[in-house]
Structure 1
């Protein structure tokens, strides 16, 4: 099921989706193409500053984010999938809008004026603007038998100065329920996974990840559905709970429901293979 492309938007993949979470990147492109949205990747994009830079050198982190903003063409939104990248880029844009010295430095460094109209959006905003319930009406029960819990993580919840009108919570539940999945209640939807402490303090992350996995098991979930590539990685590499609850990117399960044949390539990137459970539910061959 495909819609004719009607929207062209700029796209910042970020380091995670270009490396440890390529399946998230590929399934996002697949999903949005099917919904009529063409992602145009920024030419020569670089790291947004992420956790490491903004923790150690805020000025460097600001410059890294600004470099990517300077690459965004005028007249179309800049779409980001990683919540951490989204925060870094929006924070930089906020400071540029409210700090004249920062604007002058930006223009001197990157040779172009600040674009005050640049819209930096999570891809959820694109989904929210489409009539997805109408679009998926012929796919009701496509995910019938699948029990899942939804995990947004903590990064989409930001300070009021950076928050748009919506915080996105409830969007994944609504879409997956419309496709026949059973979305189970639990208390970990916005629990922090520990993010980049996974690199420096895995001993801190493992108890957090175990708690989240146990929460999904206690809820009776077949899968944890994530909105964040970093959360997804931490929930695969750090838990010691056995057996594991598989984790899927939201873009993967939504694309699967729309009938994609590319899932085998995505699932091969997972450390916890989701195929056996999906096959037992009759959702893949």
Structure 2
């Protein structure tokens, strides 16, 4: 028995929406009856259903993206797939970090390498590092754990809020998380070098926690827990570690994690107030909690 994501009614034979993945009763099974985000992403290659007067055209932030995607232009290939685009960028950046730059005579963790791939208190004004540091990682374990969590949770949220908003959340929270880490550490008189997608991933987790706190996840592929339990546990661990051992304890950017999570929780609350529900349950084979954010190397997130 499952509950309808709209009205909460118990349903013995629930309907699963193919466009957004939600669970609904008979009354709310149609996309138009549960305000399905998929209706805004309808694949209309010829623009037959585009009146030319919809809000996306006049949206200064995403209008061009939305218009090109609706009419089957090049950007249409990214619609619904930005999670995998970001995963691909992580892989390409990893190759550039550890395979290409050595061929160019740039050694790992040299000043030149750091100024390209990491956000640091030493060069916080290098604006390009605000982006490259999100996709760069400190080692194989680091990118594997972050990639697993993004692979499982990213598509769930992207289907729910759309690719444009998902992309803005991922990049925006990743940038702010990194800046928070190096900025606060710098104000404290210290230095920090951060890299990794965990700040952005924690924002995704925060949004999903608000939209559906009881969504089931598996930590370390074994332990099933509600998402809210994993989120609270992670927040307590990061907060306690930051206070007791410092914001960069264990070579982990604890403040970046907390910043990303905070952004996600706030955005999730805003979405919930607008009536955007979350998936009723997600049984997956990994991700969530501290186990999804591990890795070795320098300070990372």
Instruction: Report TM bin, short chain.
Output: under 0.3
The TM-score, its normalising length taken from structure 2, stands at: 0.21
Structure that is richer in helix per residue = 2
Structure that is richer in strand per residue = 1
Which of structures 1 and 2 has the bigger CA Rg? 2
The TM-score, its normalising length taken from structure 1, stands at: 0.22
